[in-house]
């Protein structure tokens, strides 16, 4: 039997493996990294039963990125004994173009996706920053970082928040077209900044973006500097 277990909830994936091993009552588990294990070795291991005739229980760790010899592994998997328990494990979600995922049906494999629920909210982060709630801002930033949010995306959303405040502060025509919810929130946040503050923040973010694109500053530092600049303005 073949399982393809993937997703960023690695702890849940490991529990699935333990429970499956208990279910089939196989004491010995063989775990290998696909990047250090050849398709031939996988086949030989999959066909090696113990002296009591018990089939092997194999966990094959694969990367979420493309593997050059993935097709060779798949050819072998189609030939291994049905009694053998093979779990293809990845600690990230496999895309639809992934060779193992695409061939799940041909391999007659069961697929299990274990994903952590999303706990971060980029809009909560942006609001915390522009309300100058430092503690909440860094708590939300930590959640975003844990979930792998892109730094450029976070910076772009801070710029989005600043634009809304600018529209509110300068009473633009575009601001009048926004929803009541957006207008009220932007007006509330705008009270914390002067017209001069808004102009200086735009200039600061422009300079930071230029330094980022010319390699004069790292993404992490750019984000922290921008965050501190807004919070302390």
DSSP calls for 99-145:
HHHHTTTTTT-EEEE--PPP---HHHHHHHHHTT-HHHHHHHHHHHH
Last residue of a domain, one of 79, 113, 147: 113
Q: Are 55 and 85 in contact (CB under 8 A)?
A: yes
Residue 67 and residue 170 in one domain: no
Residue 223 and residue 167 in one domain: yes
Residue 86 and residue 128 in one domain: no
Residue 127 and residue 205 in one domain: yes
Residue 185 and residue 108 in one domain: no
What tens-digit pLDDT sequence spans the chain (233 residues)? 999 999 988 889 999 999 998 888 876 789 999 988 999 999 999 999 988 888 999 999 999 888 989 999 999 999 999 999 999 999 999 988 999 999 999 999 999 999 887 777 899 999 999 999 999 999 999 988 887 788 888 999 999 999 999 999 999 988 888 888 889 999 999 999 999 999 999 999 999 999 998 999 999 999 999 999 999 98
Residue 7, pLDDT score: 93
Residue 138, pLDDT score: 94
Residue 66, pLDDT score: 86
Residue 91 and residue 134 in one domain: no
Residue 28 and residue 73 in one domain: yes
Residue 119, pLDDT score: 74
Residue 96 and residue 153 in one domain: no
Residue 72, pLDDT score: 95
As a whole number of angstroms, the distance between CA 88 and CA 84 comes to 13
Residue 106 and residue 140 in one domain: no
How would you classify the pairing of strands 110-113 and 85-90? unpaired
For residue 68, the enclosing domain spans 2-113
The reply to whether the predicted model has a pTM over 0.85 is: no
Residue 50, pLDDT score: 85
Last residue of a domain, one of 53, 83, 113: 113
Residue 74, pLDDT score: 95
Residue 105 and residue 143 in one domain: no
Residue 178 and residue 107 in one domain: no
Total domain count for the chain? 2
Residue 83, pLDDT score: 92
Residue 47 and residue 128 in one domain: no
Return the CATH number at 102.
Answer: 3.40.50.300
Residue 32, pLDDT score: 92
Residue 232, pLDDT score: 94
């Amino acid at each position: 039997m073949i399982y393809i277990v993937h997703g960023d909830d690695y702890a849940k994936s490991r529990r699935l493996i333990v429970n499956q091993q208990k279910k089939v009552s196989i004491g010995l588990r063989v775990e290998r990294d696909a990047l250090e294990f050849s398709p031939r070795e996988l086949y030989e291991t999959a066909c090696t039963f113990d002296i009591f005739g018990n089939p092997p229980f194999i966990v094959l760790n694969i990367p979420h990125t493309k593997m050059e010899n993935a097709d060779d592994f798949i050819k072998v998997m189609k030939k291994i004994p049905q009694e053998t328990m093979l779990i293809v494990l990845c600690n990230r979600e496999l895309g639809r173009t992934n060779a193992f995922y695409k061939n799940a049906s041909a391999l007659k494999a069961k697929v299990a996706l274990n994903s952590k629920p999303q706990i971060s909210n980029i809009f909560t982060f942006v609001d915390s920053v522009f309300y100058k709630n430092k503690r909440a801002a860094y708590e939300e930033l930590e959640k975003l970082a844990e979930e792998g949010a892109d730094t450029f995306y976070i910076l772009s959303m801070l710029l989005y928040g600043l634009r809304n405040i600018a529209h509110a502060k300068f009473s633009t025509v575009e601001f009048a077209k926004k929803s009541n919810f957006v207008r009220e929130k932007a007006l509330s946040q705008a009270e914390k900044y002067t017209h001069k503050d808004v102009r200086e923040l735009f200039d600061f973010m422009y300079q930071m973006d230029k330094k980022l694109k010319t390699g004069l500053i790292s993404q992490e530092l750019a984000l922290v500097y921008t965050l501190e600049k807004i919070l302390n303005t």
